[in-house]
Amino acid sequence: MGSIQALRGTRDILPGEIGYWQQVESIARSILGRAAYQEIRTPLFEQTALFERGIGEATDVVGKEMYTFKDRGDRSVTLRPEGTAGVVRAFIEHGLAAQGGVQRLWYAGPMFRYERPQAGRQRQFHQIGVELLGSPSPRADAEVIAIAADILRTLGLKNLHLNLNSIGSPDDRQHYREALVDYLTPFKNDLDPDSQDRLSRNPLRILDSKDERTQEILQAAPNILERLNPDSKTRFEQVQQLLTNLGISYEINPRLVRGLDYYTHTVFEIQSDDLGAQATVCAGGRYDGLVAQLGGPDTPAVGWAIGLERLILLIQQLQQDISPKVDFYLVSKGEKAEAQALVLANTLRQQGFIVELDLSGSAFGKQFKRADRSGAAACLILGDSEAANETVQLKWLATGAQEAIAQSALTTMTEQLRQQLAH
């Protein structure tokens, strides 16, 4: 019988890579905390109706990509394909709107979509996202974009571009949908198969098509920005001015519409030149009608999500291994020495040092080879004589310098050790 392997579209995040994930999560948590965003954690699965009503039954996500099943109570359940609907459900269910003011929330965790796996795109994937609920102001749009830019900039990413658009009010969107269908219908047989299907279900998604012939047809398609009502136009101009005030450059992309039905007004994507076809790192927009659509009070909202798999691909291109470096590799041989080594390792760890304790009990020669491979700054050596004297040999692996130190003294010279490790 063969070994069991991870399912297609899922992957293990191994210890050698986890440092990148921890770095992203730490930086995002810090920046979001400074902006007064509070973390929220919602279930991995929800009632299927939440996503059908929230995302839209005509979308590709709901129609083709969701992991949906019946539970033992014969209820239709879906693994969450995105984070916003669950956050909004929690916002309504727990009466967060009654607290008044603006709710600034963020989340992180796995999402699930059944699609073709490729670099940076898995069937189980991870996102960090923000949801700002309760403000209709264009400043809210600019704030969330600025926070995303801050996170990506702090991570050291280069060659990023903000694409910006407005799809206006629900009426604007409906009028544009009608104009787009009128324009594309005579070309239906020339469109790619997916776009032919979308023409009746979700015509705005045709603008995202990668098919060359479809893109040629779209060259003369109606421009959504030319169909915004005056209030929507003014609002979009305000968002642009606020981004300019913040020093955030952007490009207007009138074909950017996003794939979920709940968006209104501002939509945006941050893309990287270094990711090939799957270039989007962060995407989001405003969704003023979603809370009411899901049964809550009329609540304006805006948010975004960052795809961590793609983001970490970028970071790996920029950085070497960022796993924590071992400060001390502790080798020992002999019953008494091994017992003292365990206590010494524990004491040093409590003082904040990274200590790897060799548990093999093998000959010193083999332990020394593992110490060299560990990348540790120094090796601590405990043998029978050191155990009897309650000392330890401290050997700096880069220089080979070695000295005997009392175990009790080693644990009190914290600052001196930190200075030596820093050099």
Look at the alpha carbons of 177, 183, 188, 193 in this order and tell me if their dihedral is positive or negative: negative
- Is 396 found in the same domain as 278? no
Instruction: Report the pLDDT value the prediction gives residue 321, as an integer from 0 to 100.
Output: 59
Q: Is residue 214 part of a domain?
A: no
- Is 161 found in the same domain as 291? yes
**Residue 134 sits in which domain range?**
15-168+228-318
- Is 126 found in the same domain as 90? yes
Q: Is residue 194 part of a domain?
A: no
Q: Tens digits of per-residue pLDDT, 312-365? A: 988 888 775 566 789 999 999 999 999 999 999 999 999 989 999 999 999 999
- Is 380 found in the same domain as 236? no
155: left (phi over 0), alpha (psi -120 to 50) or beta: alpha
How far apart (Å, rounded) are the C-alpha atoms in residues 61 and 300? 23
How far apart (Å, rounded) are the C-alpha atoms in residues 168 and 232? 5
Q: Is residue 131 part of a domain?
A: yes
Whether residue 268 has pLDDT greater than 90? yes
- Is 249 found in the same domain as 158? yes
165 DSSP assignment: E
Q: Is residue 5 part of a domain?
A: no
- The answer to whether the CB of 37 falls within 8 A of the CB of 128 is no
Instruction: Report the pLDDT value the prediction gives residue 295, as an integer from 0 to 100.
Output: 93
E strand intervals along 98-213? 103-112, 124-133, 160-166
Last residue of a domain, one of 284, 318, 352: 318
How far apart (Å, rounded) are the C-alpha atoms in residues 337 and 330? 11
* CATH assignment of the domain containing 361: 3.40.50.800
How far apart (Å, rounded) are the C-alpha atoms in residues 253 and 55? 22
- The answer to whether the CB of 308 falls within 8 A of the CB of 151 is no
pTM: 0.85
What length is written for the chain?
423
Last residue of a domain, one of 271, 292, 318: 318
User: Quick one: pLDDT band at residue 58, thresholds 50, 70, 90?
Assistant: low
Instruction: Report the pLDDT value the prediction gives residue 117, as an integer from 0 to 100.
Output: 83
- The answer to whether the CB of 310 falls within 8 A of the CB of 280 is yes
Total number of domains constituting the chain: 2
Q: Is residue 28 part of a domain?
A: yes
Give the H or E element holding residue 164. Answer: strand 160-166
96 DSSP assignment: G
Last residue of a domain, one of 318, 339, 373: 318
- The answer to whether the CB of 163 falls within 8 A of the CB of 268 is yes
Q: Is residue 188 part of a domain?
A: no
- Is 128 found in the same domain as 44? yes
User: Quick one: pLDDT band at residue 276, thresholds 50, 70, 90?
Assistant: low
- Is 253 found in the same domain as 352? no
Q: Tens digits of per-residue pLDDT, 73-103? A: 999 999 999 999 999 999 999 999 888 889 9
> How many other CB atoms are there within 10 angstroms of residue 182's CB atom?
10
How far apart (Å, rounded) are the C-alpha atoms in residues 98 and 91? 10
- Is 347 found in the same domain as 276? no
- Is 286 found in the same domain as 138? yes
> How many other CB atoms are there within 10 angstroms of residue 39's CB atom?
11
Whether residue 132 has pLDDT greater than 90? yes
How far apart (Å, rounded) are the C-alpha atoms in residues 272 and 235? 27
- Is 375 found in the same domain as 309? no
Which tokens belong to 272?
């990287």
- Is 150 found in the same domain as 69? yes
Q: How far apart are the first and last CA of the chain?
A: 52
* CATH assignment of the domain containing 299: 3.30.930.10
**Which one has a higher pLDDT value, 22 or 117?**
22
How far apart (Å, rounded) are the C-alpha atoms in residues 285 and 302? 6
- The answer to whether the CB of 173 falls within 8 A of the CB of 167 is yes
Q: Is residue 43 part of a domain?
A: yes
How far apart (Å, rounded) are the C-alpha atoms in residues 265 and 228? 9
- Is 303 found in the same domain as 335? no
Q: Is residue 175 part of a domain?
A: no
How far apart (Å, rounded) are the C-alpha atoms in residues 125 and 206? 25
How far apart (Å, rounded) are the C-alpha atoms in residues 76 and 48? 6
% the chain with pLDDT above 90: 63
Instruction: Report the pLDDT value the prediction gives residue 355, as an integer from 0 to 100.
Output: 94
Q: Helix, strand, or coil here: 83?
A: coil
